[in-house]
Structure formats: C-alpha cells, structure tokens
Amino acid sequence: MHIHDKVIILDFGSQYTQLIARRVREAGVYSEIHPCTIALDELKDLSPAAIILSGGPASVGEPDSPGIDPEIFQWGIPILGICYGMQLIAHILHGKVTPARDREYGRSELEIISDSPLWEGVQVKDTLTVWMSHGDTVLMPPAGFDVLAKTESIDVAAIGNREKRIYALQFHPEVAHTEHGDKIISNFLFKIAKLSPTWSMSSFIDSTIKNIQEQIGEDRVVCAISGGIDSTVVAVLLNKAIGKRLHCIFVDNGVLRMNEGEEVVSYLREHFDLNLKYVQASELFLGRLNGVEDPEQKRKIIGHTFIEVFEKEAKAIAGVKWLAQGTLYPDVIESVSFKGPSAVIKSHHNVGGLPEKMQLRLIEPLRELFKDEVRKVAVELGLPDFIVWRHPFPGPGLAIRIIGEVTKERLEILRRADKIVQSELRASDWYRKVWQGFAVLLPLKTVGVMGDERTYEHVIALRVVDSIDAMTADWSRLPSELLARISNRIINEVRGVNRVVYDISSKPPSTIEWE
Ligand code: XMP
C-alpha cells in the first residue's frame, strides 16, 4: 500500500531499536521494526529498500544467540549492522569475532581510517565522539570488507563492503551522544542505499486518507473521542476520508477536568463538522464510584462503565462495522519486538475487548506513528496548540487524583485547584516544557490560620514532571516564583484548601500519578 521506500529494522533486543526507527524517519524515510526471528520469505514480502540489523544483548558465540538467514547477504539489498548487527555480519560471513575482556560502555573516540560514502560530510577533526555499548568485538572483517574506522580500544570499529553495499558499525549512530550520528545514518540511506526522502507528515496524511477510503468502502465507523490528541487526530483523519459516515462519541464520565470535554467537543464541532455525540453520563459513573476507595477498583468501575455506555451508544447507530482507535507505534512494537531468547511476547490489548464483543473490525490509522509524529500530523491538519500540546490525561481521570473516596464536593475542590495549575503553567510557558502537571487532592486535613481564625482544611499536592515516555520521570524544577504563585492562588481562591505541597519524587521509585 505504501508508495514510500521502506527500511526494515530487524530487532535483536537492543534498548535503542526504537531510536533507530525514529532517526530513519526523521531523515524522511519510512521505517518499521520487525523481530529478528522473521522468516526470510516474509521479510522479502515486505519489500524493504534497505535493512538495518539492530544491536542486542546477546553474544554471537553463545549457542542460543539470535541469528539470521545467511541468504540475506546474497539478496543484494543494502544492509547496515549496528553493534550486535555488526558482530553477526562478521560472524556469518566468516570474519573473526571475539569476546572483549571488558564490556565497553559510554563515550569513545572514533578514528576514521578509510574513505567511505558513510563518512561523507562528517567533518572530523582528528576523531569523532561516538557512543559504545558492547561486549564482543570484530577482530578481523570478512573477506571483501574494508576496515573503515577504529578506536583506541578496538581496531575494527566500522567495516564496509562497497560492492555488496553491506556496512557495519560497532558504535551506536542512533544515540544523541554520537557526533554526526544522524549524518552517518543519512549517508547509509541516501549515498549507499540511494533511497528517496519521501516520508513526511503531509504524505502520511494523503496516503492514510486514501487507505482509509479503500479499507472502509461504504461502511460506517464509530470512534470514541477522549479529548486527547490521539483520538482527536484519528477522528479528523477519518472525517476527511469518509465524512458523515464517521460517528464520534464523547462520554462525560464525571471525572474530567473543568471544561475539558466541552472545549474539545465544541472545537471539533465548529471546525470539522463532525458527527459527534456528547453523552452526559456523570451521574452513572459517580453513583458507581460512591464509597469506593481502592484505586484499582476505581479504574475497573470506570473502565467497565465506559464500555457499557459506549456500547449502548454505538449500537444505536445503524450499520456500524468498524471501531477506530488511536493505537500508536510503540504499542504495536511492544507486541512484536524481540526481547532476547527468554522474552515473553506481549499481545496488544484493545480497549477492554470491545471490538470482539461488538463484532466490529478495528481501524487504527496511527499505528505506524510515534507520539511526536502524531503531533506533527495534528499541526499539519491545522489543529490548535491547546490540542496538539495537551498533557496526557489518564482514562480514570480525576478519580485517581482524589486519594480515597470520590465525591462531588472533593471533585469541585480538585477541579478548581487543577484549573489554577493549568492556567499558571500555560501563562508562564512551562506547560510545553513539562510532560505533565496537575493537582492531587489528599485525604487529610491540616491546621492553618486565616485572619484570626484557626482552620482545618484540605491539602493539595502539586505534581509536575519531566519525561520523554512516562516510563521514567523526574520532578520539574519549576521556578520558585511560579510555585509561590500557584500555591497562593490555590489557597486564596479555592475554598476548603489551606495548604499546598510540591511532590519532589522521581519515577522510579515513585509513579507519576498518586494512585
Ligand atoms: P504512572 O502513574 O504509572 O503513569 O507513572 C504513567 C503515565 O500513565 C498515565 N496513567 C494512566 N493512563 N489509565 C490511563 O489511561 C490509567 O489508569 C493510568 N494510570 C496512569 C499517567 O497519567 C502517566 O502519563
């Protein structure tokens, strides 16, 4: 279906495999990650224009180490091996690989010793700083390969066979610490494999709309809008492709931020003429949450109730055959990647088994994209900053930011405090710099003094974190003036709060949310 050149990255379990895919895409070439266990025929069916072999934790000398069909090297396709990928090339093509005495990890100085298209435009002083992370090293390249670079500790740090267009690097060009790493990857893509940089977000939008039209035909599609960027982009793309045959449903579960649902819904209605139904189900959700304190229980109740409400609404639309979902590429890779010989391969779960239950087919137009690419698509589609840069917001919403029981009174307090956090972060330009920022309502009261009176009121915790993927996070070093302003405003403007604390824990060992 793709009109683009495609690079296939075979994953041998490196922590950097996703980074390779991103770098290739940033260079303007579409890339996909597949497990190294893929059969050669299957690989050929994917019609790649070039192949990259990732790094990995194994050692080629070990009996169970992951391998590759040697025929791949007879295929005539350009190949780049990185780290383990290099050792594998050397091992299979009868070079010599040896376990290193020590694992080399971190920065190293690379000395280029032979001209190669790989080094074009890479301005080297005497050496180039590169990032290493390996145990084994190549002692002798296979026949037909030149040694292209070395470091102080290894004599063979890069090799290449110009005629067969097979190259390999001991270091990691995909990590930011490697100087000119992106240039080296571009050289492989454009100077060696002669690919064209046609992957861009506008080409993605055009081809996706065409694909959706072909896939859906004259059918109808239902889509849940959450207010977040992913589901909004899915809805806008589908709207462009099939117009009124898309039916969007927004469920107000009673634990949303102040005005959040309405904002997105009215924006979409105004600008995109969507078929969009706003379902007010607050009372149902809050009724079921009544008296519940356990966070996992809250999550379950909200999840099940959502499915129930959504299913009822979707069934009321005649002739719906598809469910659209905002699945992203990291979720997809999670289910296919190779994580070493002992790894359990996880399967990707859709929202609570809904498609099976309703016998709907799934359409996931963003399943090829990384989060930053979704943002670019959103910009290209003309979506406003308040949608493009919106912080992630959990499905169970404010219910897991009210520690203990969720009541209307507590929701009201948290909404007001959170509104101040949001508006101060936005006004100070910190909103876009941080990953997430929000207020949490604690289940305790503390003593304070207001005027001449002693008070005994709620505590709000402020949680603001920096992160790139929510897997790890650190508390944001907000300026103290900003913290002071947020705290003053919450205490002065939100009745029932007399104390604000700032959460200075990192993840791990803490988590981003408090429940
Ligand atoms: P934690 O608290 O695990 O959060 O560090 C990591 C990221 O996931 C979000 N989060 C959730 N999102 N349902 C969701 O849709 C949930 O139950 C949930 N719990 C946490 C959290 O906001 C952060 O972005």
Domain residue ranges in the chain: 6-192, 201-388, 401-502
Q: Which residue is associated with the tokens 């809904």?
A: 354
Sign of the Cα torsion 176, 178, 179, 182 reads negative
6-192 matches 201-388 in fold: yes
Task: Provide, for the chain, the percentages of residues in helix, strand and coil under a 3-state DSSP scheme, each rounded to the nearest 5.
Answer: 35, 25, 40
Using alpha carbons, select from 484, 510, 233 the residue that is nearest to residue 373.
233
Measured in Å, residue 393 CA sits from the centre of ligand 1 at: 8
Task: Indicate the pairing of strand 96-112 with strand 146-151.
Answer: antiparallel
pLDDT at position 334, please?
Answer: 66
Topology of domain 201-388, per CATH?
Answer: Rossmann fold (3.40.50)
Q: Which residue is associated with the tokens 């509104």?
A: 419
Atom of ligand 1 at shortest distance to CA of 392? 24
What 3-state DSSP class applies to 258?
A: coil
Task: Indicate the pairing of strand 6-11 with strand 50-53.
Answer: parallel
The protein residue with its alpha carbon nearest to ligand 1, atom 18, reads: 394
Atom of ligand 1 at shortest distance to CA of 395? 15
| CATH 2.160.10.10 fits domain 401-502 | no
pLDDT at position 339, please?
Answer: 59
Task: Indicate the pairing of strand 320-324 with strand 220-225.
Answer: parallel
Positions marked active-site: 83, 172, 174
* Type of residue numbered 498: N
CB contact at 8 A, 425 and 476: no
Show Cβ contacts of residue 507 under 8 Å, excluding neighbours closer than 6 positions.
465, 467, 472, 473, 474
Using alpha carbons, select from 182, 194, 198, 90 the residue that is nearest to residue 145.
90
pLDDT-flagged residues of the chain (< 70): 1-3, 101, 334-353
pLDDT at position 337, please?
Answer: 60
pLDDT at position 264, please?
Answer: 84
Q: How far is CA 502 from the centre of its chain?
A: 27
* Pocket, ligand 1, Cβ cutoff 6 A: 299, 392, 394-396, 436, 470, 507, 511-513
Specify the pTM. 0.80
Atom of ligand 1 at shortest distance to CA of 467? 24
Measured in Å, residue 394 CA sits from the centre of ligand 1 at: 5
For residue 508, is the peptide bond before it cis, meaning its omega torsion is within 30 degrees of 0?
yes
pLDDT at position 177, please?
Answer: 86
Length of the chain as a residue count: 515
The protein residue with its alpha carbon nearest to ligand 1, atom 3, reads: 511
Residues 375, 354: Cα–Cα separation, whole Å: 27
The two structure tokens encoding residue 364: 């996931």
pLDDT at position 379, please?
Answer: 96
The two structure tokens encoding residue 221: 């599609």
* Type of residue numbered 409: E
CATH of region 6-192, choose from 3.40.50.1820, 3.30.590.10, 3.40.50.880, 3.40.50.620: 3.40.50.880
Characterise 251 by phi-psi region: left (phi > 0), alpha (psi -120 to 50), beta (else).
Answer: beta
Q: Where are the alpha helices (DSSP H) in 337-430?
A: 354-358, 371-380, 385-388, 408-427
pLDDT at position 336, please?
Answer: 60
pLDDT at position 396, please?
Answer: 95
CA distances from 457 to 24, 69, 441 (A): 54, 68, 11
